């Protein structure tokens, strides 16, 4: 399995992939040569994190194994996923995450340590559910969205595409959030959000 993106998020994904034991071998690469071993002698590889070998990107992408795109920025993640062949996207789940058998995960999702994904939840392509997040029953999360550490989505919440729900934020049950919205860290979302933009505070209000 190949992790595309060797920054901080890539290291978190690598750690989870190894902890889960889903793959016998895990590699990582990055478009930044300084992060991908491309500047090492002989174009060789180095160690990213306990057994995850860094490879120059051209070499890594030629191998043809499943790829997990581990890039924090939604637009970049979306672009990289679109460039991959159909069926290539790998989902990574940390073994301490609790994922209901009645939840649906589209390809390329990442579920971090201690996260809970409840029955009836549905996650789109390449969604990040970060450390300690609660995605309650029947929540829908659109593709390329990121639910940051310790955020909580109440039952029946609907999140659009490319949304960032900031660390520790709460979204009350049944609330709808449109595409391309950013929710600030610690916010409490009590009303539907229909317009793209940045919203923060308790209760969450649009930042001017």
Ligand X SMILES: CC(C)(COP(=O)(O)OP(=O)(O)OC[C@H]1O[C@@H](n2cnc3c(N)ncnc32)[C@H](O)[C@@H]1OP(=O)(O)O)[C@@H](O)C(=O)NCCC(=O)NCCS
Residue 55's closest CA among 45, 65, 63?
45
182 binds ligand X (CB under 6 A): yes
Out of 16, 148, 152, 163, the residue judged to bind ligand X by CB under 6 A: 148
Decide: is 185 part of the binding site for ligand X (CB under 6 A).
Answer: yes
Q: Whole-angstrom Cα distance, residue 35 to residue 44?
A: 12
Check if the beta carbon of residue 133 is closer than 8 Å to that of residue 146: no
Q: Is 113 in the site for ligand X (CB under 6 A)?
A: no
Piece of 12-20, 52-60, 86-94, 182-190 that binds ligand X (CB under 6 A): 182-190
198 binds ligand X (CB under 6 A): yes
For the annotated binding site for acetyl-CoA, the residues are 146
Return all residues near 141 (Cβ < 8 A) that are at least 6 apart: 121, 122, 123, 124, 127, 129, 135, 147, 153, 159, 163
Our finding on whether 145 is near ligand X (CB under 6 A) is no
Burial of 24 (0-12, 13-18, 19+ CB in 10 A): exposed
Cβ atoms of 43 and 121 closer than 8 Å? no
Contact region with ligand X (CB under 6 A), list: 10-18, 55-63, 133-141, 194-202: 194-202
184 contributes a contact to ligand X by CB under 6 A: yes
**Chain position whose Cβ is nearest to ligand X:** 184
Could you say whether residue 200 binds ligand X (CB under 6 A)?
yes
Binding residues for substrate: 72
CB of 148 to ligand X, least distance (A): 3
Catalytic option among 50, 76, 137, 192: 137
Of 162, 136, 131, give the one whose Cα is nearest residue 148.
131
**Strand-by-strand arrangement of the 158-159 sheet:** 104-105, 122-123, 140-141, 158-159, 176-177
Catalytic residue status for 76: no
Instruction: Report the nearest approach of ligand X to the CB of residue 9 (Å).
Output: 8
CB 125 within 8 A of CB 113: no
Which one of residues 173, 201, 205, 206 is an interface residue with ligand X (CB under 6 A)? 201
Distance CA 137, CA 153 (A): 9
Active site residues: 137
Binding site for ligand X (CB under 6 A): 130, 148-149, 166-167, 182, 184-187, 198, 200-201, 207
């Amino acid at each position: 399995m190949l992790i595309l993106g060797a920054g901080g998020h890539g290291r978190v994904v690598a750690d989870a992939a190894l902890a889960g034991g889903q793959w016998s071998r895990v590699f990582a690469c990055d478009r930044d040569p300084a992060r991908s071993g491309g500047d090492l002698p002989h174009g060789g590889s180095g160690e990213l994190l306990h057994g995850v070998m860094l490879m120059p990107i051209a070499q890594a992408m030629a191998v043809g194994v499943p790829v997990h795109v581990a890039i924090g920025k939604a637009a970049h993640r979306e672009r990289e996923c679109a460039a991959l062949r159909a069926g290539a996207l790998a989902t990574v789940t940390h073994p301490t995450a609790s994922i209901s058998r009645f939840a649906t995960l589209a390809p390329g999702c990442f579920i971090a340590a201690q996260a809970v994904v409840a029955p009836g939840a549905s996650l789109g392509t390449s969604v990040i559910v970060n450390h300690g997040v609660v995605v309650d029953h029947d929540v829908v999360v659109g593709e390329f969205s990121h639910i940051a550490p310790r955020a909580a989505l109440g039952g029946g919440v609907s999140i659009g595409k490319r949304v960032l729900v900031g660390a520790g934020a709460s979204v009350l049950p049944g609330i709808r959030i449109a595409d391309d919205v950013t929710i600030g860290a610690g916010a409490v979302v009590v009303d539907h959000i229909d317009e793209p933009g940045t919203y923060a505070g308790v209760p969450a209000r649009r930042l001017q």
